[in-house]
Chain A
């Protein structure tokens, strides 16, 4: 489900079934040279999470991307997000990111780090097949986590 008020009603009724939160973590780089790769990574991450939401609509809640500056303290963001999510009923939380610095944060579980693929120059059908390949790599991580804990 998307984080929109219309779907929140449904979520609140179905909390037992929607037990997984997905948080995209997005680094903003607004320097002259970093802007384009940063935008590309954002596009990639949001396309991927949208596809993921479509596949697992009834079990995941896709939160809006958490965007932060390059110099942001990842550990602090991690602690704050974890604390915020602790008051929810989610049994599983996945973080998706293209920012490699998250790999050094040990306190967060289920951080899926994916290298961003520049999809902006691809034509529509090729982009789609590339993104579906990417999705296929991510899906088993979810189903594994789910079958592991239930």
Chain B
């Protein structure tokens, strides 16, 4: 035993500081974690709805892909199923909204046998090119909307709707 032995006063001081430090850390850590949590949140894929359509099966021919999500309408929560026309342009996935820009009917790819490479609206014979461009002389006044689309582990995931960026 030498001269630098710990006195009772010092020992109690260290112990109280140590315990107090742990308690303070125990309180502060969750606070800090909660405070920075929004920054750590992964936004990737958060607003995208995963479908059961494999990306590998998508060709240059548009196919209908259905996707469901919950929609809250005031107090009424319902499951809504929407669909999109998905095709590949080179390696890029493209998803178009099937909602006709005229009065909101659902358009079909090759719905008119005479125009097999166009979208066709059965209500008032509106037509669109494959990239969603409306064909002049038919009722629609604008191009079809586009969905954000992603490849998530080999499956198509569909995001928010936006104005057509292809035309």
Contacts of A58 in B (CB 8 A): 100, 102-105, 121, 123-124
**Does any Cβ of A come within 8 Å of B3's Cβ?**
no
Q: Which of A1-49 contact B (CB under 8 A)?
A: 10, 14, 17-18
Question: Chain B contact residues: over half helix, strand or loop, or mixed?
Answer: loop
A18–B106 contact, CB under 8 A?
A: no
Of A18, A54, A128, A143, the contact of B103 (CB 8 Å cutoff)? A18
Contacts of B121 in A (CB 8 A): 58
Instruction: State how many angstroms separate the Cβ of A56 from the closest Cβ of chain B.
Output: 6
A49 to B22, CA, bound (A): 65
The proximity string for B residues 32-75 relative to A, scoring 1 for CB distances below 8 Å and 0 otherwise, is: 00000000000000000000000000000000001000000000
Instruction: State how many angstroms separate the Cβ of A47 from the closest Cβ of chain B.
Output: 11
Instruction: State how many angstroms separate the Cβ of A133 from the closest Cβ of chain B.
Output: 15
**Does any Cβ of B come within 8 Å of A55's Cβ?**
yes
**Does any Cβ of A come within 8 Å of B18's Cβ?**
no
A17 in contact with B124 given A58-B100, A128-B81 (CB within 8 Å): yes
B105–A56 contact, CB under 8 A?
A: yes
Of A10, A57, A128, the contact of B105 (CB 8 Å cutoff)? A57
A55 to B107, CA, bound (A): 8
A14–B103 contact, CB under 8 A?
A: yes
**Does any Cβ of B come within 8 Å of A59's Cβ?**
yes
**Does any Cβ of A come within 8 Å of B122's Cβ?**
yes
A residues in contact (CB < 8 Å) with B: 10, 14, 17-18, 54-59, 124, 128, 139, 143
Could you jot down 19 A-B contacts, CB within 8 Å?
A10-B103, A17-B102, A17-B103, A17-B139, A54-B106, A55-B106, A55-B122, A56-B106, A57-B103, A57-B105, A58-B103, A58-B105, A58-B121, A58-B124, A59-B105, A124-B79, A128-B66, A128-B81, A143-B122
B residues in contact (CB < 8 Å) with A: 66, 79, 81, 100, 102-106, 121-124, 139
